[in-house]
Amino acid sequence: YLGVMPEFRGLGLAGTMLRRACRFARWRGLSSMTLAVDVANAPALGIYRKAGFQAIQRKVTFTMFEPVSP
């Protein structure tokens, strides 16, 4: 999971974290990475495309959260 708090967005932090994750994966001997992103998250899609990731499939997911009692 990768995320940047709103007050720190626009500083290039997500791209830096993604590059470090890719570098670490290569160091560990991995030849590929898979990620998931909401198609409505245009900023994230741009970061991933810039890093060389390509869309290979789309899935529909449904999530239900049960209310937590105080």
Gap between the Cα atoms of 68 and 38, Å rounded: 25
pLDDT in tens, 9-54: 999 999 999 999 999 999 999 999 999 999 999 999 999 999 999 9
pLDDT band at 66 (very low <50, low <70, confident <90, very high): confident
Gap between the Cα atoms of 5 and 32, Å rounded: 27
Is it the case that residue 65 has pLDDT exceeding 90? no
Looking at residue 26, its pLDDT comes to 95
Dihedral sign from CA coordinates of 15, 10, 61, 39: negative
Is it the case that residue 1 has pLDDT exceeding 90? no
Gap between the Cα atoms of 70 and 13, Å rounded: 35
